Amino acid sequence: MALLDETAKGVYVIAVTPFTETGALDLDSTDRMVDFYLEKGATGLTVLGMMGEAPKLTADESRIFVRRVLKRVDGRVPVVAGVSASGFAAMRELSDSVMGDGAAGVMVAPPSTLRTDDQILSYYAMAAETLGPKTPFVLQDFPLVTQVQITPAVILKIVAAHPSCVMLKHEDWPGLAKISALRAASDQGGRRISILVGNGGMFLPEELSRGADGAMTGFAYPEMMVDVWKAHAAGQVERAHDLFDAYLPLARYEQQPGLGLALRKYTLAKRGAIASATLRKPGGALSKMDIADIERLIARQERRLKEIG
C-alpha cells in the first residue's frame, strides 16, 4: 500500500469503532462500515481517532480492529490510524503494528499538558523520532479538545524539521486565518503539506476557499463532504454552498461535544452502516427528544436536497 504523502486530498472519513450491544468489537459491522464509507465516496479512512473511541480499546483490540479495517479496504484507499498515546513506548508499539499491517500513515494529537511553543516542538520531535522517518504522520490540531494551541509558526517549524509530517488535520476554531497563513508560507517556498479539515465540516466551503485539500472528519453523511469538495474543486462555489447549507442543520446538531458520537452512531446505524449504535462507557446516551430532533432534521434534509437537485 502506498504511504500517505503531501498530495493527499479529498475526504478521509473518521471511522467510528462499531461495538455489539454488549460492548464487544463488532468486526462484521466493521466490514459493513468500510463498504459504506467507500460507497459514499471516501478517498481515505482514519481509524482510532478521538471519535473512534480509541482510548476505550485495549492495546490488543486496537491492533485487531485496524487489521480488520485494512483487510476489508484491501488497498482501495489509504488508511490512517490514530496512535496518540500517554507515552512514546505505547505509541511506537501501536505504530509499528499498524504500519506493518499496511496503514498509510498515523496521526498524533498533542497531550493536553503542553503549553509553550517549545514544549509542542519538543513533543513532535520526540514523536517523529519515535515513529521513525518511514512512517508518515498527521499532526492533529484540535484545541477545543486537546486544549493545546499551536500557532502557524509552530506548525511550520514542525513541517520544516520533520519530513515525515505530511498532513495537518486542521480543527482549530476559528481556523480560517490559520489555513491562509500556512498556504501563504508554502506559496513562498515552504514544503506544502496536505490540510484536511475537521470540526464536523462546519466550515468546509470557506476552508476549501482558503486552501484546504479536503476534509478528515466523521459526519454521518460523508457524501456531504465529498460532494462539497467535488463541487468546489470544479469551481462551482455557489453549488458547493448550496449542498453544504442543505446538510448544515444536521451537521450543526451532530457537533455537540460528548453527545455527537452517540448522534453519529445513531445515524450510521439507521443508515445501515453498523449494526448497533452502542458506545463503550463512558458515552453519551440519547433521549427520546434527541432522537425526535435528529429524525426531524434528517427528514428536512432530505426534502431540501430534493429541492436543490
**CB closer to a copy of itself out of 57 and 268:** 57
**CB closer to a copy of itself out of 174 and 235:** 174
**CB closer to a copy of itself out of 4 and 294:** 294
The string of DSSP letters for the chain reads: -PPP-TT--EEEEE----B-TTS-B-HHHHHHHHHHHHHTT-SEEEESSGGGTGGGS-HHHHHHHHHHHHHHHTTSS-EEEE---SSHHHHHHHHHHHHHTT-SEEEEPPPTT--SHHHHHHHHHHHHHHH-TTS-EEEEE-HHHH-----HHHHHHHHHH-TTEEEEEE--SS-HHHHHHHHHHHHTTS---EEEE-GGGTTHHHHHHHT--EEEE--S-HHHHHHHHHHHHTT-HHHHHHHHHHHHHHHHHH--TTTHHHHHHHHHHHTTSSS----PSS-----HHHHHHHHHHHHHHHHHHHHH-
CB of 66 to a copy of itself, least distance (A): 16
The Cα diameter of the chain in Å comes to 54
**CB closer to a copy of itself out of 43 and 95:** 95
User: Binding site annotation covers 216?
Assistant: yes
Q: What is the total residue count of the chain?
A: 309
**CB closer to a copy of itself out of 43 and 84:** 84
Question: Cell 484536511 sits at which residue?
Answer: 196
CB of 276 to a copy of itself, least distance (A): 17
CB of 199 to a copy of itself, least distance (A): 11
Q: Which three cell numbers stand for residue 217?
A: 472528519
**CB closer to a copy of itself out of 39 and 296:** 296
Interface residues toward a copy of itself, by CB under 8 A: 53, 55-59, 61, 86-90, 93, 112, 115-119, 122-123, 126, 149-151, 153-154, 173-174, 176-177, 180, 202-203, 206, 209-210, 238, 241, 244-245, 248-249, 252-253, 256-260, 280-282, 287, 289-290, 293, 296, 300, 304
**CB closer to a copy of itself out of 55 and 75:** 55
CB of 40 to a copy of itself, least distance (A): 23
Q: What are phi and psi of 212, to 5 degrees?
A: -70, 150
CB of 2 to a copy of itself, least distance (A): 29
Closest CA to 17 of 279, 307, 301, 296: 279
CB of 23 to a copy of itself, least distance (A): 9
* Residue pair 229/205 in contact by the 8 Å Cβ criterion: no
CB of 27 to a copy of itself, least distance (A): 16
| Binding site members | 216
| Binding site members for pyruvate | 216
